[in-house]
C-alpha cells in the first residue's frame, strides 16, 4: 500500500463499499426503524469507532499490558470504566467484551463449571439464545432450566421462578429478556437467588438506556453480575460490558490459605480473568473509546429526558395499536418495546406482516409470542419499539399516525396499494424528522 492510498478516503479507495454505505444511510433516513434492539449511533461515537485506536494491540488491562505504547489506550479504557461505574453505580466494570453474547458466556465462565445448573428465561417467551437455549453454547455447557411467563397474563411469574429455583437449586439465576414489554423486578430475582444460594445475574441489554436514564428500575448495585450490550437503548457502539460486585458473596474459603481465599472472594478478578485471558484476545480499543463517549452522552439530562420519552412513545403507540384492534402481549408496555400477537389473524403471520411493513419503510422484526403455535422462522408475532423514532424527535402525536399505518398493514399485508400509500406517508414523516445529515 502506497502512502497516497494509505491517506485517501473511503470513496477514493473503494467506491463500491462507499456506495453501499450511502445506500444504508438513505435507508435509515427514509424509513422508520422500529426494531427495538436498534438505535442510531451518534456521529461522535462513530468517529471514535473509526479512529486510529483500531490499530493498537493491548492485551491485558490498563497499566498491565503485554505490549508497549499502550499509554493512550490505557487512558481511554480507564475513562470508559470510570464513566460506566458512575453511570450505572457499579462497583466494577469490564469494558472489553466484544458483544452481548460474549459477555454472557464470559460471565458464566467466571462463576460456573461445565454442568452447573442455571435458570434462564425461555427464548420463545422473551429470553435470549445465551440464556440457555439448547443450540447455544450456554445450553450445551451448563445444565440450564428454563422458566417462562404465566400462560394467562403473559407476565413473569416470580413465584414460579422461586418454585423452580427451590427444586433445581441452581448456582446462577439469569434475569433479563429480549422480548418482554414489562418492567422486570430485578430485586425479586436477586432475593430468589439469595434464598437458594445462587448468584444473581441480570442481562439488561435491551433496557440499559432506560436504566441509565432512570426510566426502568436498575438491578445495580445489588445484583452480583450485570451484562449489557452498548448499542441498544444505550445508543453506543456495537459492543458490550460486564458489571459486577467486587466481592464474591458465595466464595468457599474453607481450607484455603490467605492468598487463595482473597482470590476466591474476588468476583471482579474472576470476571476480568474470564474475559482476558479466559476467552478474548486483544481488546477493541477504538470501540472502548466509543463506549466512553456513549457513557458520557448517556449521563446527560437530555439522555434522561430521551429515555423517558421512549417509554411515553411506546405507551402512546400501544394505545393506538389496541384502539385499532390489535392484540399486544401482556396487553401493553412499560418499556421501549411492544410485541404484537397476530394469532387472531392466523397462526404464523409475523413473517408476512413484518415484510409488508418493511416494504412500506417501517422496519420491525418477526418474533415468537408466548406459547406460539408456529415456528421461530414463521412466528405469530411482530416485535417493535420506539428508540429510533424518539431519537428523531418524534412524540406521542407521531406515534398515533405510525400506529394507524401498522394497524392497517397488519390487517391487509398483501394490499400493495396500501403499502405504497403508507410508504409515501412514511417518507413525508421522515422528511420532517431528519436523522443523519
What span, in angstroms and rounded, lies between the C-alpha atoms of 279 and 273?
Answer: 9
- Alpha carbon distance, N-terminus to C-terminus of the chain: 32
Question: Would you say 209 and 387 are in contact if contact means Cβ atoms under 8 Å apart?
Answer: yes
Q: Are 269 and 111 in contact (CB under 8 A)?
A: no
Q: Are 337 and 317 a contacting pair, CB within 8 Å?
A: no
Secondary structure of residue 309 in the 3-state scheme: helix
Sorted by sequence, the CB contacts under 8 Å of residue 400 that are 6+ apart come out as 316, 320
Angle at which helices 350-359 and 396-411 cross, to 10°: 120
- What is the phi/psi pair of residue 174, to 5°? -100, 130
Which residues are known to be catalytic? 57, 59, 203, 229, 232, 238
Residue 140: partners with Cβ closer than 8 Å, 6 or more residues away: 134
Cis before residue 402, ω within 30 degrees of 0?
no
Q: Residues interacting with ligand DSN, by CB under 6 A?
A: 37, 100, 128, 178
**CA–CA separation, 308 vs 294, rounded Å?**
18
The grid coordinates of residue 167 equal: 427444586
Q: Among residues 287, 273, 231, 216, which one has the least CA distance to residue 92?
A: 273
What CA–CA distance (Å, rounded) separates 124 from 35?
17
Cell numbers 471514535 correspond to what residue? 48
Q: What Rg, from alpha-carbon coordinates, does the chain have?
A: 23
CA–CA distance, 271 with 263 (Å, rounded to integer): 12
* Residue 94 grid cell: 469490564
Amino acid at each position: 500500500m502506497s502512502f497516497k492510498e494509505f491517506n485517501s478516503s473511503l470513496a477514493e479507495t473503494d467506491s463500491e463499499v462507499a456506495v453501499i454505505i450511502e445506500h444504508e444511510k438513505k435507508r435509515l433516513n427514509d424509513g422508520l426503524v422500529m426494531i427495538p434492539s436498534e438505535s442510531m449511533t451518534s456521529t461522535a461515537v462513530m468517529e471514535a469507532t473509526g479512529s486510529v485506536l483500531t490499530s493498537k494491540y493491548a492485551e491485558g488491562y490498563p497499566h498491565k499490558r503485554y505490549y508497549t505504547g499502550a499509554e493512550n489506550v490505557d487512558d481511554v479504557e480507564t475513562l470508559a470504566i470510570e464513566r460506566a461505574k458512575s453511570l450505572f453505580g457499579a462497583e466494577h466494570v469490564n469494558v472489553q467484551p466484544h458483544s452481548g453474547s460474549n459477555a454472557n458466556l464470559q460471565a458464566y465462565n467466571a462463576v460456573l463449571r461445565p454442568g452447573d445448573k442455571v435458570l434462564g428465561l425461555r427464548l420463545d417467551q422473551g429470553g435470549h439464545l445465551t440464556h440457555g437455549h439448547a443450540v447455544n453454547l450456554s445450553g450445551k455447557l451448563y445444565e440450564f432450566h428454563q422458566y417462562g411467563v404465566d400462560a394467562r397474563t403473559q407476565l413473569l411469574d416470580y413465584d414460579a421462578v422461586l418454585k423452580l429455583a427451590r427444586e433445581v437449586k441452581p448456582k446462577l439465576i439469569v434475569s433479563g429478556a429480549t422480548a418482554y414489554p414489562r418492567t422486570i423486578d430485578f430485586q425479586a430475582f436477586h432475593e430468589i437467588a439469595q434464598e437458594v444460594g445462587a448468584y444473581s445475574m441480570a442481562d439488561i441489554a435491551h433496557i440499559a438506556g432506560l436504566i441509565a436514564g432512570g426510566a426502568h428500575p436498575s438491578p445495580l448495585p445489588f445484583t452480583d453480575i450485570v451484562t449489557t450490550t452498548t448499542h441498544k437503548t444505550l445508543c453506543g457502539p456495537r459492543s458490550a460490558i460486564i458489571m459486577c460486585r467486587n466481592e464474591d458473596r458465595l466464595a468457599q474459603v474453607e481450607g484455603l490459605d490467605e492468598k487463595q481465599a482473597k482470590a476466591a472472594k474476588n468476583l471482579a478478578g474472576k470476571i476480568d480473568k474470564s474475559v482476558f485471558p479466559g476467552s478474548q484476545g486483544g481488546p477493541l480499543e477504538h470501540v472502548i473509546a466509543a463506549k466512553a463517549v456513549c457513557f458520557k452522552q448517556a449521563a446527560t439530562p437530555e439522555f434522561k429526558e430521551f429515555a423517558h420519552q421512549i417509554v411515553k412513545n411506546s405507551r402512546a403507540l400501544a394505545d393506538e395499536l389496541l384502539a385499532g384492534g390489535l392484540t399486544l402481549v401482556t396487553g401493553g408496555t412499560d418499556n421501549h418495546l411492544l410485541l404484537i400477537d397476530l394469532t387472531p389473524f392466523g397462526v404464523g403471520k409475523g413473517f408476512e406482516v413484518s415484510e409488508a411493513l418493511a416494504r412500506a419503510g417501517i422496519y420491525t422484526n418477526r418474533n415468537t409470542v408466548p406459547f406460539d403455535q408456529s415456528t421461530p422462522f414463521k412466528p405469530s408475532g411482530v416485535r417493535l419499539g420506539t428508540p429510533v423514532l424518539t431519537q428523531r424527535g418524534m412524540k406521542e402525536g407521531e406515534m398515533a399516525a405510525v400506529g394507524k399505518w401498522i394497524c392497517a398493514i397488519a390487517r391487509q399485508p398483501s394490499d400493495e396499494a396500501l403499502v405504497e400509500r403508507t410508504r409515501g406517508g412514511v417518507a413525508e414523516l421522515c422528511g420532517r424528522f431528519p436523522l443523519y445529515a
